[in-house]
Amino acid sequence: MPRHINLRQIEGFKAVIENGTVSRASQILNVSQPALSKLIAHLEFDSGLRLFDRVNGRLAPTEHAMRLYDEVGRIFSGVRQVENAVDAIRREEQGRLSIGVLPALANTFIQRVTTGFLQERKNVFCTVQAVGSQWIVEWLVSRKLDVGIVSARVDNPYLTFEPLMEQPLVCILPVDHPLAAKTLIEPHDLDGIPFVAFDSDIYVSHLVSNMLEAYKITPQTVLVANAAPTICEFVAAGLGISLIHPLMISGLEHRLIIRRFAPEIPYNFQLCRSAGTRISSKASWRSCARKRLRSLTRCWPRKRIRRIGARLSATSRPTISGQNREADAPRADPRNSHPAFDNLRE
């Protein structure tokens, strides 16, 4: 007589579908192959469905099996959300903090921020996940992460966002590049020059492309990459130059030449966390992040940087779509800048 389907049968079924063979699935579930085969046979009997065809001694999923697998995936997604919620509660009680960061910032910046936090909170255990903004947001909503750093374009009603380090993009060059003799790089300097670009899916690429189009400039794109550390490494190796946010350079300042670029192309990141949550470790880590940013700017002279835009004729400066500030907006305060610009003091 058929019985109600149980969770163990579903786990066995899911493992066979995802691993392809009973042998590998049994290893994942830590059960014997005969025991797993018995679970699958019972599931077929209890459900009244033929889920697998036996082909040359192996199990091949039927159409019924794949339809059932889609439903099973949704069920296990809900189970994972419960597990993540339990883990979040446990982290709060035991002093655990899970941090999500963009790969572009998974450099010495995140290392220094988190190390400073751990020096103040020695009883807290941290995990750091370097993933894209969409994954950070999804994992924050599902409570798999406690705090994250994402791109400026991200928004979600279930999260709280705080702007972080809005700065104009800078030009990075190999140490022996001819343009290193200049203190200011302008659009016409990029025309026909070997250029290392961000992938078109990256927002920085969108901003740079708008600028190049506005000035009718065509650099010689020699390589496209989707990660800032990769961009920096290829520039340092002499392949070309690039435009990048100062925080993305952290840890590579001594291997690159860094110059200001005009017109300014502003870009910022965001600190984010689950809305309505109050975990002291989150606040403490955010405080460490902001302290680290302040410490990065102490070497700047107190006077304001002269207006770079003055070097460009107001009549010849086109409007660049995608920028949030007008061409004659006040320039960024140098106290909010980055030590990578030490060699640009006036």
What domains lie within the chain, and their CATH numbers?
A: 7-79 (1.10.10.10), 95-165+269-295 (3.40.190.10), 170-264 (3.40.190.10)
CA distances from 182 to 47, 173, 179, 186, 189 (A): 74, 11, 6, 10, 10
Query: What does the block give as tokens for 135?
Result: 């994954």
Q: What angle do CA 9, 15, 19 make, to 5 degrees?
A: 155
* Helix or strand holding residue 57 (H, E): none
Distance CA 169, CA 108 (A): 19
The overall longest dimension of the chain from CA atoms, in Å, is 87
What's the length of the chain? Answer: 346
CA distances from 304 to 41, 45, 141, 290, 331 (A): 76, 78, 41, 21, 8
The identity of residue 57, as a single letter, is: G
Contact 196, 231 (CB under 8 A): yes
What is the separation, in whole angstroms, between the first and last Cα of the chain? Answer: 87
Enumerate long-range contacts of 85-92, CB under 8 Å, 24 or more apart.
85/143, 87/143, 87/144, 88/143, 88/144, 88/146, 91/146, 92/279, 92/281
Cβ neighbours of 62 (radius 10 Å): 15
**In this structure, what DSSP letter does residue 29 have?**
H
Contact 232, 155 (CB under 8 A): no
**What is the torsional sign of CA 23, 29, 35, 38?**
negative
CA distances from 18 to 37, 59, 104, 176, 319 (A): 15, 12, 32, 52, 52
Which residues make Cβ contacts (< 8 Å) with residue 30, sequence separation at least 6? none
45-55 burial, b at 16+ Cβ within 10 Å, e below that, comes to: eeeeeebbeee
**What is the torsional sign of CA 7, 8, 12, 13?**
negative
Which residues does residue 167 pair with via DSSP β-bridges, in sequence order?
267
Which residues does residue 162 pair with via DSSP β-bridges, in sequence order?
271
Contact 16, 34 (CB under 8 A): no
Indicate whether this model's pTM tops 0.75.
Answer: no
Distance CA 248, CA 229 (A): 7
CA distances from 22 to 14, 41, 65 (A): 11, 12, 15
pLDDT tens string, the chain, 346 residues long: the values are: 556 778 888 888 888 888 878 888 888 888 888 888 888 888 888 888 888 887 777 778 888 888 888 888 777 776 766 776 666 666 566 577 888 998 888 877 788 888 888 887 777 778 888 988 888 998 888 888 888 999 888 888 888 888 887 889 999 999 999 999 999 999 999 999 999 999 988 888 999 999 999 999 999 999 999 888 899 999 999 999 999 998 888 778 788 999 999 999 999 888 888 766 555 555 566 666 655 555 544 433 223 223 323 333 333 344 444 444 333 333 433 333 333 333 333 3
pLDDT of 336 reads 37
Phi, psi (degrees; rounded to nearest 5) at 257:
-100, 130
